[in-house]
Amino acid sequence: MFFLNCCKKVQPLLALAFLACFSASASQTYMKPGQSKTLQLAEPITTVFISNPEVADYRIVGSKSVVLYAKKRGDTSLVVYGKKARTLISSQISVDPFLGDLHLRVEEAYPGSKVQITRFVDGEKATYILSGEVPDEETLDNVHQLVGSLVGTDSEKRIMELRSAEGEKGSGDELFVRGYSYSNIINRLKTPASNQVNVKLTVVEVSKEFSDSLGIDWSSLTLDSIINRGSVINSSGMFNLLGFKGGFDAANISTVINAIKNDSVAKVLAQPNLTVLSGEQASFLVGGEIPIMIRDNDTVTVEYKEYGIRLNIAAKVNSQHKIRLAVLNELSSASGSYGYNDYHIPTMRTRRSSSTIELADGDSFIIGGLLSEEDKEALTKIPFLGDIPILGALARSAHTERNKRELVVFATVNLVKPVPASSKRIRLPIYRRSTIEQLFLNVGIDKDMRENRLSNDANMFMEQGGFAK
């Protein structure tokens, strides 16, 4: 009884061992030309079959041992049979000087990645195909670059260029590496899901405008001041300083002395909300186009130049879910024109900056320092009288205006995913037409309408931008 129980326990173990041995044998084997391998079997060998002896061949060295050796690049199949035509080994042999090392290096560098490398040969040209699934886009690019560095030919760096309105790409930060391409490598690797990056930006122009006007402005005299306070110009049209009734006092001169100071703070120029796939780019432009006449011999053509607020971004997410972001922002406007022959060519005032940074999900950053300064001076005076030293100050008015502007960009980046249509997280506000009386007197508005106005559903929806973290 004890012997039978032992047999019942041993038989399943032997079956599992045989299945494991068979499944391990039915596999892919990579070899280099000139390399050999010894295959040890559990049963005596009766027959060995190899489909292409010119690529690889074998030699039986024992009743349970066979040596397999590779000759040249190519593919072949090996099948070893035992007693009763039982299949002991069934293996696909790929002979390539690099294929075995490729699998080994990819497995060592990125364990857990399900990368398969296959090769097709057309004469002397070999093409490698990468397939399978990797955890993220950074691993996908790194595996592709690793294989390309070993067997790739005619490599080409694919870059993402963030160009300004003039078409200038510059150097350094504006160049964003997208990846590499090789003429003999086909990349079919996939990731479980594509990352999407949402960038919320606020473009603010911080201005400090200072104007100072001080002097005698005779043009500010009104008919009332002439009749009630006296005329400063007599009947013959000559200037008469003593024409003020009651004398030249503070009450009278306040009508002609002008002293003004103005200060301005800031204004929001744009608040774009852009969403871009990892490894891609997005652009934003608020402005217009200026036509420019270009003459070439007797031919006149018109080209349009964009102006306004331009923003170009490119994003890429790495394996640690860090977001690498390239930003090119530009603010341009027409500042004047100059004449050339019969044409008036506009001049542009442009402020531009570019930067490449790395942020975590939800981080923010600020780009500033784009300063511009403008000074304007004006002098108004009565001819001849305004040129008299000291006393001439009573016949002229000076105006100085100084504008300082700084362009500041505030940005927040988030990893997002689309919200399904069936989601109940988004509640769109309901708008109803109101009459002038309802808007002005705030009457006749039902409770639902009032609560809808006061709710933050619309703001939340706009902040989400149709996406959710």
Query: How do 156-161 and 196-215 pair as beta strands?
Result: unpaired
Say if residue 63 is in the same domain as residue 107: no
> Domain boundary residue among 175, 192, 209?
192
Token readout for 71 is 């000759």
| Residue 325 domain-assigned (yes or no) | yes
Closest CA to 45 of 85, 18, 2: 85
Q: What is the dihedral of CA 352, 358, 360, 364, to 10 degrees?
A: -20
Same domain, 34 and 152: no
262 - beta bridge partners?
211
Answer yes or no: do 164 and 184 share one domain.
yes
Give the 3-state secondary structure of the chain. Answer: CHHHHHHHHHHHHHHHHHHHHHHHHCCEEEECCCCEEEEECCCCCCEEEECCCCCEEEEEEECCEEEEEECCCEEEEEEEECHHHCEEEEEEEEECCCHHHHHHHHHHHCCCCEEEEEEEEECCEEEEEEEEECCCHHHHHHHHHHHHHHHCCCCEEEEEECCCCCCCCCCHHHEEEEEEECCCEEEEEECCCCCEEEEEEEEEEEEEEEEEEEEECHHHCCHHHHHHHCCCECCCCCECHHHCCCCCCHHHHCCCECCEEECCCEEEEECCEEEEECCCEEEEEEEEEEEEEEEECCEEEEEEEEEEEEEEEEEEECCCCCEEEEEEEEEEEEEEEEEECCEEEEEEEEEEEEEEEEECCCCEEEEEEEEEEEEEEEEEECCCHHHCCCHHHHHEEEEEEEEEEEEEEEEEEEEEEECCCCCCCCCCCCCCCCCHHHHHHCCCCCHHHHHHHHCCHHHHHHHHCCEEC
| Domain presence at residue 269 | yes
Q: Do the domain assignments include residue 245? A: no
Do residues 461 and 382 share a domain? no
Measured between alpha carbons, how far is 308 from 332 in angstroms, rounded to an integer?
A: 5
* pLDDT at residue 69, as a whole number: 92
Q: What is the pLDDT along the chain (469 residues), one digit of tens a residue?
A: 433 343 334 344 433 333 334 334 457 788 888 888 898 888 899 999 999 999 999 999 988 899 999 998 888 899 999 888 888 888 888 888 777 778 888 888 888 778 888 877 776 777 888 888 888 888 888 888 888 887 877 777 666 666 555 555 543 344 455 667 788 888 888 888 778 888 888 888 777 655 455 454 544 444 444 444 444 444 444 334 444 444 444 444 444 444 444 445 667 877 888 888 887 888 888 888 888 777 777 787 888 888 888 888 888 888 788 888 888 878 888 777 777 666 677 778 887 877 888 888 888 888 777 677 766 667 777 777 767 777 777 677 776 777 777 777 888 888 887 776 666 666 665 566 666 766 666 666 555 555 555 445 555 545 554 444 4
The answer to whether residues 344 and 427 belong to one domain is: no
Residue 242 falls inside a structural domain? no
In a domain, 1, yes or no: no
Asked if residue 439 and residue 365 are part of one domain, the reply reads no
**129 and 278: one domain?**
no
Q: Which of 95, 111, 136 delimits the end of a domain?
A: 95
Number of domains in the chain: 4
361 within a domain of the structure (yes/no): yes
Note whether 117 and 199 are same-domain residues.
no
| Residues 128, 36 share a domain | no
- Residues spanned by the domain of 379: 195-217+257-414
Q: Domain for residue 110, yes or no?
A: yes
- Do 435 and 468 lie in one domain? The reply is yes
Distance CA 71, CA 56 (A): 5
With b for 16 or more beta-carbon neighbours within 10 A and e for fewer, the 321-345 pattern comes to: eebbbbbbbbbbeeeeeeeeeeeee
Q: Do residues 210 and 166 both lie within one domain?
A: no
Domain-located, residue 202: yes
Question: For residues 364 and 347, what is the distance between their CA atoms, to the nearest angstrom?
Answer: 35
Q: What is the pTM of this model?
A: 0.53
CATH code of the domain covering residue 39: 2.60.40.1080
Nearest one of 404, 409, 336, 420 to 372, comparing CA atoms: 404
Q: Among residues 51, 75, 95, which one ends one of the domains?
A: 95
Residues 425, 316 within the same domain: no
Longest C-alpha distance within the chain, in Å?
146
Provide the edge-to-edge strand list for the sheet that holds 74-81.
28-31, 87-95, 74-81, 47-50
